[in-house]
Chains A and B, each alone.
Chain A
Amino acid sequence: MDRILIIDDDEELCELVSEYLTVEGFSVESVNDGESGLARALDGDHDMVILDVMLPKMNGFDVLRNLRQKSKLPVIMLTARGDDMERIVGLEIGADDYLAKPFNPRELAARLRAILRRSVVPETAGGNEALDVDGVRLSPASRSATLEGSELSLTSVEFGLLHELLKEAGKIVKKEDLSETVLERKLSPYDRSLDMHISNLRKKLGPRSDGGDRIKTIRSVGYIYTVV
Chain B
Amino acid sequence: MKLFLRIFLWFLAAVLLMVGVVIFITRTFQTEPMESRWQRSVRNQMSIYGGTAAQIAKTQGEQGLRDFLSRLTDVDTPRRVALISADGNTWFGDPSQFDDSKDVVARSLSSGGVETDAPADDVTYGASPVGLPDGRQFALVLKWERQPSPSLFFGSWVGYTRLGGLLLTSLILCYLLAAYLTTPIRKLRDATNRLAEGELQTRVETRLARRRDELGDLARDFDEMAERIESLITSQQRLSRDVSHELRSPLARLNVALEIAKQKANPETQPILDRIEIESQRLNDMIGRLLTLARLESGAEEIENNKVDLAELVRDVAADADFEARAKGRYVNVSETDRCAVVGSENLLRSAIENVLRNAVRYTSEGTAVDVSLTRENGHAKILVSDHGGGVPEPELPYLFKPFYRVGEARERKTGGIGLGLAIAERAVRAHKGNITARNHNGGLQVEIDLSVPKS
CA gap between A220 and B260 in the complex, in Å = 38
Is the CB–CB distance between A20 and B260 below 8 Å? yes
Of the candidates A17, A80, A81, A82, the one whose C-beta lies within 8 Å of that of B256 is A17
Of the candidates B253, B288, B321, the one whose C-beta lies within 8 Å of that of A81 is B288
CA gap between A23 and B265 in the complex, in Å = 14
Of the candidates B249, B259, B289, B354, the one whose C-beta lies within 8 Å of that of A104 is B259
Binds B, one of A8-16, A41-49, A112-120: A8-16
Question: Chain B contacts of A10 at CB under 8 A?
Answer: 249, 252-253
Mask of B236-278 contacts with A, CB within 8 angstroms, 1/0: 0000000001001101111111011001000000000000000
Of the candidates A20, A84, A189, A219, the one whose C-beta lies within 8 Å of that of B259 is A20
Is the CB–CB distance between A189 and B323 below 8 Å? yes
Binds A, one of B51-59, B311-319, B407-415, B434-442: B311-319
Is the CB–CB distance between A190 and B320 below 8 Å? yes
How many residues on B have C-beta within 8 angstroms of the other chain's C-beta atoms?
A: 30
Known interface pairs A82-B291, A102-B252; A219-B347 also in contact (CB < 8 Å): no
Q: Which residue of A lies closest to B245 (CB)?
A: A80
* Contact-residue size bin, chain A (C-beta under 8 Å from the other chain): 20 to 34
Question: Chain B contacts of A83 at CB under 8 A?
Answer: 291
Question: Chain A contacts of B292 at CB under 8 A?
Answer: 82
**B448 near A: Cβ within 8 Å?**
no
Chain A binding surface, main DSSP class: mixed
**A170 near B: Cβ within 8 Å?**
no
Is the CB–CB distance between A101 and B312 below 8 Å? no
CA gap between A3 and B64 in the complex, in Å = 151
CA gap between A16 and B256 in the complex, in Å = 6
Interface positions, chain A 38-94, Cβ under 8 Å from B, are 80-84
Question: Chain A contacts of B298 at CB under 8 A?
Answer: none
Known interface pairs A82-B288, A219-B316; A101-B256 also in contact (CB < 8 Å): no
Q: Which residue of A lies closest to B254 (CB)?
A: A102
CA gap between A154 and B354 in the complex, in Å = 31
Rounded to whole Å, the gap between the CB of B303 and the closest CB of chain A is: 12
Is the CB–CB distance between A82 and B289 below 8 Å? yes
Known interface pairs A82-B289, A219-B312; A102-B248 also in contact (CB < 8 Å): yes
Mask of A18-36 contacts with B, CB within 8 angstroms, 1/0: 0110010000000000000
**A106 near B: Cβ within 8 Å?**
yes
**B324 near A: Cβ within 8 Å?**
yes
Interface centre among B253, B254, B256, B289, by most chain A C-beta atoms within 10 angstroms, is B256
**B167 near A: Cβ within 8 Å?**
no
Is the CB–CB distance between A104 and B288 below 8 Å? no
**A135 near B: Cβ within 8 Å?**
no
CA gap between A34 and B323 in the complex, in Å = 41
**B287 near A: Cβ within 8 Å?**
yes
**B284 near A: Cβ within 8 Å?**
yes
Of the candidates B248, B252, B284, B319, the one whose C-beta lies within 8 Å of that of A220 is B319
